[in-house]
Amino acid sequence: MAQLFIQPIPYQLSTQQLFERIRQQPRPVLLDSSFDSNGTQRFDIMSAAPVATLTTNEQGTQLKTLAGVEQHSADPFDLLKQQLAELGPSDSGTVELPFQGGALGYFSYDLGRVIEDLPTTAENDIDIPLMDVGIYLWALIRDHQLKTAYFIAHPACSIQQREAMLMLATSDIESSPLDDFKLKSTFDSNMTVAEYKDKYHRIIDYIKAGDCYQVNLAQRFKADYQGDEWFAYQRLSERTDAPFSAFMQTDDYSLVSLSPERFIEVSQGRVETKPIKGTRPRDEDPEKDHQYAQLLKNSTKDRAENLMIVDLLRNDLSKACELGSVSVPKLFDIEGYSNVHHMVSTIQGKLAADKDAVDLLEGSFPGGSITGAPKLRAMEIIEELEPHRRTAYCGSIAYLDCNGNMDSSILIRTLVCHDGHIYCWGGGGIVADSDADKEYSETLVKVSHLMEGLA
């Protein structure tokens, strides 16, 4: 196993200061733990200038490398697995690092169409890929637990790229800012309150008919904007302590994500997922805030909803985990974030010897916490009732490194910036004993701080 190149860099430089130095390179991406107050995350990862990209649309996958461009009709997950295999493993010695070179990018909710046969009734009006992943040979990593930071480069990284990126990352010259970010209109929803409630009651009818147990219904908000999306990310990250925050920018679109939710992590064969189901607002009054948390903790409805998704994800993980290894060490934990309390459960397993992280991701995608149960029927109902495709919303941003490790988010509290428009979504799981007014209010609670932060 070839040795990873590791160069310590000053931890005193903030994540945003470091990212500022590299963000004008092609396809910059930042995975930001936001100094996670719940102890979920300890590392920030950032990189740019990938040596290859895999971009999937409904016609197939384009593989772009230094050698040229190829069009493939094969399963995009198989192509991703092939690229990681060609990269080969690396050895970081005694330094603990989450990412040692590999894939960084996003997997849209609608990539589920590659996995399952789904209807096509919702309007697809945001023209971004189903999957967009780069192969990155270097990264900047900050470890908030040990207060250390490193520049790392995979053995396959050329000396020219390694030296150029290291110089850029350690230079005192910061890149010039682009235009500031501002909205040119207010956010408008793609459904009225009456339309939301009509869709809510149709879901209740489906549940009573036995089609499903739970369906996640979301409304989409859209506004016009101008300026640099990086400023939007910085503005929102100051207001939100989200442990799975991310920023990703391409020539065509940007993703601004302040997600609190992990999808799946794989670390040395150990697997973990942490679904969120159940939400209450925060309050500046400590007593009222505690009451909200206790109401969530003791809510029979939220516990039942959470348990449905735990069972679904146990089944999904079992497809790629050793028989009998999947367990639930934490059920119905309450975690507090800047604007909401969430009910979070933890499911763990051990990857089977003949499976890898890509197999696990494909077999579990998209995350059950944002579809409903059973998953396929819930996704069919979502396609029927939501006016527009979700694209990146409820998909994942992830890294899959050359040593088989992976971590991924659920793209909630996420904004898509494309063609002068910015989109965000608010949704929630509907079950038999839900209340239409409360469910509608919950969709607003989840994203109002994002829309207000940009306004």
DSSP label of 423:
E
3-state secondary structure 257-272: EEECCEEEEEECCEEE
The yes-or-no verdict on residue 263 having pLDDT over 60 is yes
Q: Between β-strands 182-183 and 214-226, what pairing exists: parallel, antiparallel or unpaired?
A: antiparallel
> What's the rounded mean pLDDT across residues 203-220?
97
Q: Is the torsion defined by CA of 318, 407, 25, 455 positive or negative?
A: positive
Q: Is the torsion defined by CA of 3, 262, 122, 233 positive or negative?
A: negative
C-alpha span between 109 and 371 (Å, rounded): 10
Q: What angle do CA 222, 227, 231 make, to 5 degrees?
A: 90
Residue 283: the pLDDT is 87
Residue 290 identity (one-letter amino acid): H
Number of DSSP helices (H) and strands (E) in the chain, helices first: 11, 27
Question: Which of 306-315, 328-337, 409-418 is most confident?
Answer: 409-418
Residue 173: the pLDDT is 64
Question: Which of 75-84, 178-187, 289-298 is most confident?
Answer: 75-84
Per-residue pLDDT tens for 96-106? 999 999 999 99
The pLDDT-based confidence of 40 (bands split at 50, 70, 90) is: low
Nearest alpha-carbon partner for 80 in 122, 36, 41, 111: 111
The yes-or-no verdict on residue 58 having pLDDT over 60 is yes
Q: Between β-strands 52-57 and 276-281, what pairing exists: parallel, antiparallel or unpaired?
A: unpaired
The pLDDT-based confidence of 172 (bands split at 50, 70, 90) is: confident
Give the other-Cβ count within 10 Å of 32's Cβ: 25
> What's the rounded mean pLDDT across residues 436-450?
93
C-alpha span between 23 and 160 (Å, rounded): 19
Residue 451 identity (one-letter amino acid): M
Residue 350 identity (one-letter amino acid): K
C-alpha span between 228 and 77 (Å, rounded): 32
C-alpha span between 53 and 97 (Å, rounded): 23
Residue 39: the pLDDT is 57
The yes-or-no verdict on residue 410 having pLDDT over 90 is yes
Catalytic sites, residue numbers: 261, 277
Q: Which CATH superfamily is domain 2-171+180-454 in?
A: Anthranilate synthase (3.60.120.10)
The yes-or-no verdict on residue 276 having pLDDT over 60 is yes
Per-residue pLDDT tens for 4-37? 999 999 999 899 999 999 999 999 999 999 765 5
C-alpha span between 447 and 445 (Å, rounded): 6
Residue 1: the pLDDT is 75
Residue 35: the pLDDT is 65
In whole numbers, what is the pLDDT of the chain averaged over residues? 93
The yes-or-no verdict on residue 175 having pLDDT over 60 is no
C-alpha span between 280 and 292 (Å, rounded): 6
The yes-or-no verdict on residue 38 having pLDDT over 70 is no
Helix (H) or strand (E) holding 38: none
Nearest alpha-carbon partner for 115 in 302, 277, 358: 358
DSSP, collapsed to helix, strand or coil, labels residue 134 as strand
C-alpha span between 360 and 107 (Å, rounded): 14
Nearest alpha-carbon partner for 352 in 315, 317, 327, 314: 317
Nearest alpha-carbon partner for 206 in 405, 374, 9: 374
DSSP, collapsed to helix, strand or coil, labels residue 359 as helix
Residue 391 identity (one-letter amino acid): T
Which has the higher per-residue pLDDT, 376 or 238? 376
C-alpha span between 407 and 226 (Å, rounded): 32
Helix (H) or strand (E) holding 381: helix 375-385
The pLDDT-based confidence of 170 (bands split at 50, 70, 90) is: confident
Residue 304: the pLDDT is 86
Helix (H) or strand (E) holding 316: helix 300-318
The pLDDT-based confidence of 189 (bands split at 50, 70, 90) is: very high
The pLDDT-based confidence of 177 (bands split at 50, 70, 90) is: low
Q: Is the torsion defined by CA of 361, 362, 366, 367 positive or negative?
A: negative
C-alpha span between 205 and 124 (Å, rounded): 26
Classify burial at 94, counting beta carbons within 10 Å of its beta carbon; exposed 0-12, middle 13-18, buried 19 or more: exposed
Residue 37: the pLDDT is 52
Q: Does the pTM exceed 0.75?
A: yes
Q: Between β-strands 90-91 and 2-3, what pairing exists: parallel, antiparallel or unpaired?
A: parallel
The yes-or-no verdict on residue 176 having pLDDT over 60 is no
Sorted by sequence, the CB contacts under 8 Å of residue 95 that are 6+ apart come out as 6, 150
Residue 339: the pLDDT is 77
Residue 18: the pLDDT is 93
The pLDDT-based confidence of 179 (bands split at 50, 70, 90) is: low
**How would DSSP label each residue in 135-151?**
EESEEEEEETTTTEEEE
Residue 98: the pLDDT is 94
The pLDDT-based confidence of 241 (bands split at 50, 70, 90) is: confident
> What's the rounded mean pLDDT across residues 252-262?
96
Out of 93-107, 170-184, 307-321, 425-439, which region has the weakest mean confidence (pLDDT)? Answer: 170-184
| Residue showing tokens 């990310």 | 233
